[in-house]
Structure 1
Amino acid sequence: MNVEELTAIDVHTHAEISKDGHTSLSPELFGASAEYFGSHERPTIEQMAAYYRERRMAAVVFTVDAEHATGHPRIANEEIAESCAAHADVLIPFGSIDPHKGRAGVREARRLVEEYGVRGFKFHPSIQGFDPNDRLAYPLYEAIEELGAIALFHTGQTGIGAGVPGGAGVRLRHSNPMLVDDVAVDFPHMKIILAHPSFPWQDEALAVATHKPSVYIDLSGWSPKYFPPQLVRYANTLLKDKVLFGSDYPVITPDRWLKDFAALDIKPEVRPKILKDNAARLLGLKESAA
Structure 2
Amino acid sequence: MTDPSRSAFEAARSGGVIDTFLAMPDTRANQAAKYARIRELANDAGTKDSYMPAEYMFKGVPTFEDDEVDDPVQVVLAEMSKHRISTFVTGVHENEHSRRAVREFPQHFVGMLNVDPNEGIGALRTIDAAVEEWGDSLRCIHVWGTGLIPQVPLDDKRMWPIYAKCIEIGRPIIVYAGVPGPRIPMAPQLPILLDEVCWFWPELQIVVRHGADPWTELMVKLMLKYPGLHYSTSAFAPKYYPEDIIRFANSRGADKVMYAGYYSAGLTLDRIFSELPNVPFKDEVWPKFLRENAARVFGIAPVDPPSPS
| Structure 1 unaligned residues grouped into runs of 5+ | 64-73, 161-166
Q: Could you say what secondary structure the match of 1:133 adopts?
A: coil
Match of residue 71 from structure 1: none
* Partner Cα distance (1:79, 1:148) in 2: 26
2:63 to 32, 41, 47: 41
Aligned match of 2:3: none
1:50 CA displacement: 3.5
**Residue 14 of structure 1 aligns with which residue?**
23
Query: What amino acid sits opposite 2:233 in the alignment?
Result: L
1:163 corresponds to: none
Q: Does 1:55 align with 2:73?
A: no
Map 1:127-146 → 2, pairs under 5 A: 127-128=147-148, 129-146=151-168
Would the aligned equivalents of 1:37 and 1:159 in 2 still touch at CA under 8 Å? no
Aligned-residue offset at 1:79: 6.5
Name stretches of at least 5 consecutive residues in structure 2 with no aligned partner.
Answer: 1-12, 40-47, 305-309
Q: Quick one: which amino acid aligns to residue 90 of structure 2?
A: V
Q: Which residue pairs with 1:150 in the alignment?
A: 172
Change (3 A) 1:60 1:32: same
Q: Match of 1:62, as an amino acid?
A: G
Paired residues of 1:153 and 1:193 also in contact (CA < 8 A): yes
1:174 paired with 2:188, answer yes
SS of alignment partner, residue 230 of structure 2: strand
Decide which of 211, 219, 231 is 2:233's aligned counterpart. Answer: 219
CA distance in 1, matches of 2:30, 2:242: 38
Equivalent-residue separation in structure 1 for 2:243 and 2:14 (angstroms): 32
CA displacement at 1:221 relative to structure 2: 1.1
How many residue pairs align between the two structures?
266
Q: Which entry has the higher C-alpha Rg, 1 or 2? A: 2
2: CA distance, partners of 1:140 / 1:186: 13
Moved more, 45-54 or 117-126: 45-54
The 4+ residue runs of structure 1 with deviation greater than 6 A are: none
**How does the TM-score come out when normalised to structure 2?**
0.77
Report if aligned partners of 2:177, 2:210 keep a CA contact under 8 Å in 1.
yes
Aligned CA RMSD, in angstroms, stands at: 2.6
| 8 A Cα contact 2:153 2:189, kept in partner | yes
1:101 aligns with 2:122: no
The alpha-carbon deviation at position 155 of structure 1 amounts to 1.4
Which of 142, 154, 157 lines up with 1:122 in the alignment?
A: 142
Query: Secondary structure at 1:94's aligned position in 2?
Result: strand
2:215 matched to which residue of 1? 201
CA distance in 2, matches of 1:131, 1:281: 27
**Secondary structure of the corresponding residue to residue 194 of structure 1:** strand
| Structure 1 residues 215 and 283: CA distance shift in structure 2, 3 A | same
Kindly state the Cα deviation for residue 46 of structure 1 after the two structures are TM-superposed. 4.7
Please report how far the alpha carbon of residue 17 of structure 1 lies from its aligned counterpart in structure 2 after TM superposition. Answer: 4.8
Q: Which moved more, 1:103-112 or 1:175-184?
A: 175-184
Greater relative CO, 1 or 2 (CA 8 Å, sep 6+): 2
Q: What percentage of residue pairs aligned between the two structures are identical?
A: 22
Q: Quote the Cα distance in structure 2 between the aligned partners of 1:148 and 1:219.
A: 23
* CA 1:91–1:230: 2 relative to 1, 3 Å: same
Q: Would the alpha carbon gap of residues 178 and 49 (structure 1) be closer, same or farther in structure 2, given more than 3 Å must change?
A: farther
Normalising by structure 1, what TM-score?
0.82
CA distance in 2, matches of 1:85, 1:136: 31
- Structure 2: how far apart are the matches of 1:158 and 1:100? 20
Cα deviations by residue, 1:142-175 (Å, 9 ceiling, x for unpaired): 1111101111112112222xxxxxx3xx211211
